Every structure is written in structure tokens, then in C-alpha cells.
């Protein structure tokens, strides 16, 4: 899919990410200066996983978080869901090369309408994907639906720091560095969407309240790297439905 095709699809959709799938991992490493892997480690740790548990990774993309979850959690199975076929194809190659075919399953799907039964996952994650979901409230309610009572939810998302001594530098990175590097490496001017979606994401406490409104309990906000990224954690309560 070329640059012309990108203009006909919704920014942030599965088709949008199909077009940049081959360079997505490289872009993540460069744009985040390699820090994104450390953020994912913190996300996995927040889940408190034990052998026999099942984890759902929404917006799994090329399966970085799904693979890390399986590697760092013995006896845990992961189901990754994403709307981009090209991202999933790359993810399946990575899963196979890592010898994780029996523990990591990747499926095409939508976070707003998860094709999984009620109460079937012990933990749910989504990294750098919730801002691309048109109806976030619906996606958050779906997480509550498919999570078992007590299931932990961990949402990793970028944001634009609005205060602090490093705020101006971080905003420069988001507004100038991210779209410039993205456009150069991906060959798509539409990669500027990443910058606009980060800037448009709600304030941390506003999004945390959206998680509570969807039915999650014990919601907490964990700023990472001077607020460039936040880890949001919560829990599916007993009698959530």
C-alpha cells in the first residue's frame, strides 16, 4: 500500500498500519530512543502473572508485548489481537522465530468488539494502541467483559507532557522529531498522525477516570520517563457486570 492509498483510510486504522508495518519496530526504537522496551517490562511486571494464566494483548501490532509477556512469564499463554493484517504477519514471524507458537496466538480483531467469551482472561494489556481506538469507552468496557473477576489491566500509552522542567523538550520531540523521523523512515507524510494522536490523548487523570467509568477498580497512573509515557493499571472487580 503506497502513500496515495494511505490518504483514503482512517488514520490509526488497521489499513493505516498495514502501510508502515515493515518499518514499525525500527520506528518505535528510534523515536523512543529504545526506552519503549523498558516500558513494556514495567507493564508485564504490573500484571503479577503466574503459571496457567491467560493474557489478552490488544492492539498487539507486531507482538512485542505479547512476546515479552510469554518470555518473562513461565507457563502463561497470550492471545494477541490487532486489526492490521500486515502487522500480525510480522508478529507471527517473530513468534515463530522465538519458539513461542504454542503459547502466543495472534488474531485479527477489534478492541471495540473483542471476539472472545466473557470472563476468560486473567490479565489484559494494550500498549500504544488505546489512542487509536475510535470508541475508547467501548474498548475499556470490552476489557472488563472479557476479564475474569480480579483480572489486572495494564495500559501503556504515550502522552504530551504539559508541565515540568523537561516539558518543552518533550513537546519538541513529540511535535517535531517524531513526525519528521517517522516521515523519513516510513516514506509516508501521514506518519504525522502519530504526533497529533499523542498530543490529543487525554490528560492522565482524565483517562484514568474513563477507566473507572468503564467499570475498572483500583485504577492508578504511573508516569514514566518524565511523563512522556504513562502506565495505567486497574482491575476487573467482582460483580463487574
Binding residues for S-adenosyl-L-methionine: 62, 82, 110-111
Yes or no: say if 86 and 18 are a contact pair by the CB < 8 Å rule.
yes
Q: Which residues pair with 222 in a beta bridge?
A: 231
Give one DSSP letter per residue of 201-224, joined into a string: SPPHHHHHHHHHHTT-EEEEEEEE
Binding-site positions: 62, 82, 110-111
- Cell numbers for 220: 492508578
| N-to-C CA span, the chain | 42
Q: How far apart are CA 16 and CA 196, in angstroms?
A: 15
Neighbours of 37 (CB within 10 A): 13
Task: State the alpha helices, DSSP H only, in the chain.
Answer: 3-6, 14-31, 36-46, 64-72, 85-97, 136-146, 167-172, 178-186, 192-200, 204-213
Yes or no: say if 39 and 231 are a contact pair by the CB < 8 Å rule.
yes
Amino acid at each position: 500500500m503506497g502513500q496515495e492509498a494511505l490518504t483514503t483510510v482512517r488514520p490509526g486504522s488497521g489499513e493505516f498500519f498495514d502501510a508502515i508495518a515493515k518499518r514499525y519496530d525500527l520506528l518505535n526504537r528510534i523515536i523512543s530512543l529504545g526506552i519503549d522496551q523498558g516500558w513494556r517490562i514495567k507493564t508485564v511486571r504490573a500484571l503479577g502473572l503466574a503459571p496457567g494464566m491467560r493474557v489478552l494483548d490488544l492492539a498487539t501490532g507486531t507482538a512485542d508485548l505479547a512476546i515479552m509477556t510469554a518470555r518473562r512469564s513461565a507457563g502463561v499463554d497470550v492471545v494477541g489481537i490487532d486489526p492490521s493484517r500486515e502487522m500480525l504477519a510480522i508478529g507471527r514471524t517473530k513468534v515463530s522465530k522465538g519458539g513461542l507458537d504454542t503459547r502466543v496466538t495472534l488474531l485479527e480483531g477489534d478492541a471495540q468488539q473483542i471476539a472472545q467469551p466473557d470472563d476468560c482472561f486473567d490479565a489484559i494489556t494494550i500498549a500504544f494502541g488505546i489512542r487509536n481506538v475510535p470508541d475508547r469507552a467501548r474498548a475499556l468496557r470490552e476489557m472488563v467483559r472479557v476479564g475474569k473477576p480480579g483480572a489486572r489491566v495494564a495500559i501503556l500509552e504515550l502522552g504530551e507532557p504539559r508541565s515540568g522542567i523537561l516539558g518543552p523538550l518533550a513537546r519538541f520531540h513529540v511535535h517535531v522529531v517524531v513526525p519528521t523521523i517517522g516521515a523519513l523512515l516510513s516514506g509516508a507524510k501521514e506518519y504525522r498522525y502519530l504526533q497529533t494522536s499523542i498530543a490529543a490523548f487525554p490528560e492522565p487523570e482524565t483517562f484514568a477516570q474513563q477507566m473507572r467509568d468503564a467499570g475498572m477498580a483500583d485504577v492508578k497512573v504511573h508516569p514514566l520517563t518524565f511523563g512522556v509515557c504513562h502506565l495505567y493499571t486497574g482491575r476487573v472487580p467482582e460483580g463487574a457486570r
